[in-house]
Amino acid sequence: MYLLDTNIFLELLLNQERADECEKLLQNLHNGKLKGYVSAFALHSIEVILEREGKQAALMAFLQDISESNNLKRFDTATFEEIEALKLAQKLKLDFDDAIQYYICKSFRLKLVSFDKHFDNTDLKRIEPIEIINDLYFKI
């Protein structure tokens, strides 16, 4: 199972350079070839960014997709988990948002899908969407 970082969604929603591979990854989640999670913190970050960009229609469609998905679930953290993430942020020299993702992955044995190279300085292996896509197609 995977935890998708904020940047995976933003890459697609903001039509950035690697949007195509993010779209393929999300299509594989949608059609049931993969299962994953998105943290509530990531969702809130995406909401703020899209609202600031004036992309309310895209935000509405995105939230509806998440809400209706059987294979991509929202992961809510409790306050005590956020305290633990803050401790990790200080220890590992991560931003709080990265520490939340790190905490969730380590605590629940999820693989992190992210473009964020800050994780490369930790013991958490980061996977990029193209790696998962290639693995799916080479297994067929």
The total of structural domains in the chain comes to: 1
Other beta carbons less than 10 A from residue 41's beta carbon: 20
Closest alpha carbon to 45 in 70, 16, 9: 9
Closest alpha carbon to 86 in 47, 126, 41, 46: 41
pLDDT digits 0-9 by tens, 33-86? 999 999 999 999 999 999 999 999 999 999 999 999 999 999 999 999 999 999
pTM for the complete prediction?
Answer: 0.93
CATH (domain of 109): 3.40.50.1010
Give me the domain span that covers residue 12.
Answer: 2-139
Tokens at residue 38, please? 């998105």
pLDDT digits 0-9 by tens, 88-136? 999 999 999 999 999 999 999 999 999 999 999 999 999 999 999 998 8
What is the amino acid identity at position 27? Q
